[in-house]
Amino acid sequence: MITDPTAAPAPPLRYHDSLIPRLPVGDYTLKAGQRIVYSDGGTQQVSEADHGFEVRAPRFVLDPAFVHGAYPAPNSTGRYANLLPHVTLTRETLPWEVPVTPKGSWLAVLLFARGELTGDPGAEGRTEAIRLADLLTPVPGEVRPLPAVAPSADEKSSTCHTVLVPAALFAKVAPRTADLPYIAHLRQGGSTDDTARGAASDGRRYAVVAGTRFPDRPSRYVAHLVSLEGLGSVLDTAPTKPVRLLSLWSWSFDTHLTTSRQGFGTLAAALAAASVKDNALRVPVAAPPSAGASAKHTAQRLRQGFVPLPFRAHSGEHTFAWYRGPLSPVRPRPLPTPPELLGRPRSASQLLIYLEEFGIFDVSYAAAFSLGRALAVADTDFGSGYTRGVRSQRRLKASGKRFAPTVTPPKAPEHEPDARSAHARWLSRLRLLDHVPFAYLVPDARMLPSERLRLCHVDPDWINALEAGAASVATGDPEDEWAADQLWALRAHPTPAAALLLRSALVTAWPGMAIRCVDEAGPVAVARRATLASGVELMLLGRPPTNVTLEEPHRSAHLGITPEKKITLREITGRIGASRKSVPVSGALRSAEPMVLDLGARLHELLKTEFGTGIGPSAMALQLVASTEYQVLTVAGDA
């Protein structure tokens, strides 16, 4: 694990205090009128109209799509005792959409250890489902929220999730009203897919809601993103009854003081150690049991990334054939080009390779051709549009008119995309293996086991066969071959030279993880980055890299203190972010057991004394931000 930020420069990351919408939640009336002003100065009111409307927010049920990520990662185990749990939201205005006093976040992250919640003693994230109308009905033995803005009828009928927090525990861990301005802030930029491609930042903004309690003892913890709307009466005055909270989202994790079994650094280090030993995309190859030609051929094929698959020959015989997808552990040899294949291949059978010495077929390129044709047929916009163009041109040819070399209707409206351009874009995506099923890329699960990274060469002949199959979609007779030739000529984008495949819990636990590839010439361009399946990521590269860096997303940078229980103060003017000094966190705590920060009072006063002025939420977050972790893999060369 490496944490020196100078070795893996982070893209720019900006902190903002808030992003408050112009209209908070509430009922509004829009008044409209028309008045005539005469030249003599007289006026006449002609018409008036009132229109009521409502501004809503997800106050009671949260769409999981709004949650970009959380730290510590859900269901992870690590040394989190000095870190504050937080959640990152894609709906950037959400923490400020419901007005609270003082101005701040209506959302909070509350942390509970195993055994603290009677309804969830194992800290697994269990909640009690209840209809909102029932939740808003007062109960003598509980404190329940009383929203200032009444919910609508359809909101009242919705089902929400709640947790019941004992009164004494709520008083210890819930934020005070003075904390509300500081428990949320806005982050902009940081590590994204675009920064992994070499861009400085994509400028996207994320709202961050942080907890105030540290998971400072070994235990299972559950963190709840809760609503504080309508609970102002119990934030500064200890409640005498249990408090029922609306839980909008939750996640669990484990803290260990002496081990970090599933943290980012540990996972990345283990993945690097396993992948450096063998990063080739192929099934494990044992030594052949005999020195015969067939055994040697089989071992060689497996080392080259081929796998044996069931095959039925034209004769009806059931046997096996070799197959390798577009990703190869070795640099693919160019296909020999017989005269009949100097142009575009016309059929899959032309691309079958017969290994006469062993009586076995290699179906790799034939399978690519058939897949390309199937993908073109399956895409209704591409297949049907292309076929209509072909038929139109055939009618022109039959009528004796000039045979136009295009499938674009003449004089198409300017707002309609050019058909040839649309087909070219479709082919460019196909060249980047878009829509290619995972089984065609990795035909055997043993090639890409869990917690492994694989680096591969991209076979341009396989991709050419894929495109040839797509170009053949409308060829029913020889007269249609011209159309396929035209589509074939649209191939303009270069084929990526290399690829990276990653199967790891890092992909799901740290969405937006930065992956940077370099070689002796500098950063390697990324043509495509995509998540293919749960925990599986693909990157197509312009050149084979020599080093790969995996890094935690900077927009999800941790908030916390040092292992020595100190806050690292950072400059808020001049060299913003530069280390200034360290101060003990004890002076900023509301309580030591559980360990809870007092953001609005003690920490604010400590920082005001240090900097000579009051600071806002973004500057306070800067004082608590911790370094991200990253791992560098050095890649060995291949044949």
| Average pLDDT of the segment spanning 574-579 | 85
What would the mean pLDDT of 129-138 be, rounded to a whole number?
95
For residues 580-601, give the mean pLDDT: 92
The pLDDT confidence band at residue 8, using thresholds 50, 70 and 90, is very low
Question: If you write DSSP's letter for every residue of 366-406 in order, what string do you get?
Answer: HHHHHHHHHHHHH-HHHHHHHHHHHHHHHHHHHTT----S-
Mean pLDDT along residues 243-261: 85
pLDDT for the residue numbered 77: 84
Q: Report the distance separating Cα 196 and Cα 529, nearest Å.
A: 9
pLDDT band at 371 (very low <50, low <70, confident <90, very high): very high
What tokens does 338 get?
């017989």
H-state helical runs in 261-303? 264-277, 293-303
Q: What is the pLDDT of residues 78-91, one digit of tens each?
A: 888 999 999 999 99
Give the pLDDT score at 196: 35
Angle at 443 between CA 352 and CA 436, to 5 degrees: 80
pTM for the complete prediction? 0.66
Buried b or exposed e, range 166-194, using 16+ CB within 10 angstroms: ebebbbbbbbeebbbbbbbbbbbbbbbbb
DSSP state of 213: B
User: Which range among 26-30, 110-114, 133-137, 140-144 shows the weakest confidence by mean pLDDT?
Assistant: 26-30
Q: What pLDDT is stored for residue 395 in this prediction?
A: 65
Pair of tokens at residue 102? 């003082």
The CA dihedral of 583, 562, 559, 602, to the nearest 10 degrees, is -30
pLDDT at 361 over 50: yes
602 vs 510, higher pLDDT: 602
Whether residue 422 contacts residue 408, with contact meaning beta carbons closer than 8 Å, is answered with: no
pLDDT tens string 437-486: 999 999 999 999 999 999 999 999 999 999 888 888 765 666 666 666 66
Q: Which tens digit of pLDDT belongs to each residue from 311-356?
A: 887 777 788 999 999 999 999 988 876 555 556 788 888 898 888 8
Residue type, 113: A
CA angle 80, 85, 89 (to 5 degrees): 140
Output the average pLDDT for the chain: 84
Query: pLDDT tens across 217-247, in order?
Result: 999 999 999 999 999 999 999 999 999 999 9
Give dist(CA 337, CA 323) in Å, integer: 20
pLDDT of residue 457: 96
Give whole-number Cα distances, 583 to 173, 176, 316, 586, 598, in Å. Answer: 23, 23, 79, 9, 15
Q: Tell me the C-alpha distance between 360 and 376, whole Å.
A: 29
Higher pLDDT, 178 or 416: 178
Radius of gyration of the chain (CA): 31
